[in-house]
Amino acid sequence: MSILLSLSSTSFAELVNNPSSGSTGTANLNWSSADVSQLLNDEDDEPTIQGSTSVTTTLRGSNAPKVIASAPKLAPIRDTSGYNAQPSVSARAALVMDAQTGEVLFSKNTNASVPIASITKLMTAVVTADARLNMSEEIMLEQIDFAGANGKNSSSTLRVGDKMNRAEVLLFALMKSENPAAAALARTYPGGRPAFVAAMNAKARALGMNATHYYESTGLDPRNVSSARDLGILASTASQYGLIRQFSTTPTYDFNLGYRVLKSNNTNALVRNGGWNINLSKTGYINEAGRCVVMHTTVNSRPAVIVLLGEPSTQARNNDATNLLGWLSNLPKRI
């Protein structure tokens, strides 16, 4: 199916989804500002979290004591990686959590605060959605958006002067993990970048993400740190925003900027290839963080969050994510 995303009649950029192989016919879907507003409010009529939320976690393991905690003062989660019948991962830190009950199904170094690279962009998306900004407003990318952070340059297929609406900028940031897009979202926030970063840290505190701190909106700065435990909370929160779910799991889009077309794929191969019911996804990489991924998925009617931080390679990250999904599918079904 061919999909056209046009949030306003004056929008300079359009998004066209490539038809899948074997599909017949085409259909256009126009997204109005009201459509985006509905996604921000969540199409499933679940409340979009604007402030703090209550998250309870319990530990699952063979002959393991339970650890129960509630935001904003959550106790550390015990590692389960040494228990019987637990999967093995090469990640520095990992978490598998039942997203509905908060039950911790698997954990490894879950409380360690480590660099998170572009996983940062999940909070960037939440802060953008919470602000209820005009998603049809045109944004032009500026040189400052490409400056990077902490001495790191921001490589991109985007260019200074590119124009698109805010929703398209958010899609670039989530699906393709474009750093200039995430920087532009912070720059165009009311109060600019300082207010945006303050909102990111305020949201983290409200959610009980005690091991988390943000310095900028892209993830290029290795001082952006969090823990697998905290990111489990963030993924559960972000999954309640329809816009974030939709944009982070878009497999592929051709961004038609009018003067060139940017063929873009999701940075998560598990999203691109299909086969798993992934509701939300974000990958990340800088040298200090290694390869990272956060996903919200549904397996055997169980909503679950998977977090992998500090993987040595993309292949290791994909292998561990696939193995954890397979292990999760063999657990008793949720009724």
State phi, psi for 133 to the nearest 5 degrees: -75, 160
Q: In which band, very low, low, confident or very high, does the pLDDT at 24 lie, cut at 50, 70 and 90? A: very low
Asked whether the predicted pLDDT for residue 41 surpasses 70, the reply is no
Length of the chain, please? 335
For residue 57, the surrounding DSSP H or E stretch is: strand 56-59
If one compares 30 and 34, the residue with the highest pLDDT of the two is 34
**Is 281 within 8 Å of 268 (Cβ atoms)?**
yes
Annotated active-site residue 32? The verdict is: no
Report the mean per-residue pLDDT for the chain.
81
Dig out the tokens for 149 from the structure: 């952070």
Question: pTM of the full predicted structure?
Answer: 0.80
Q: Tens digit of pLDDT for each residue in 139-188?
A: 999 999 999 877 777 778 999 999 999 999 999 999 999 999 999 999 99
Instruction: Kindly list the structural domains of the chain, giving each domain's residue range(s) and its CATH number in brackets, ordered by start.
Output: 4-53+112-329 (3.40.710.10)
Dig out the tokens for 197 from the structure: 């970063």
Dig out the tokens for 258 from the structure: 């009018």
Q: Tens digit of pLDDT for each residue in 246-280?
A: 999 999 988 888 888 999 999 999 999 988 999 99
pLDDT of residue 155: 74
Catalytic residue among 107, 118, 239, 264: 118
Catalytic residue among 121, 176, 203, 282: 121
Q: Tens digit of pLDDT for each residue in 58-95?
A: 343 333 333 223 343 444 555 565 445 788 999 999 99
Catalytic residue among 177, 226, 239, 281: 177
| Residue 83 DSSP symbol | S
- Whose structure tokens read 């994510």? 321
Question: Which residues face 297 on adjacent strands?
Answer: 278, 304
Q: What is the share, in percent, of the chain residues with pLDDT greater than 70? A: 73
Q: What is the share, in percent, of the chain residues with pLDDT greater than 90? A: 64
Question: Exposed, middle or buried by CB within 10 Å (0-12, 13-18, 19+), for 308?
Answer: buried
Annotated active-site residue 301? The verdict is: no
Annotated active-site residue 177? The verdict is: yes
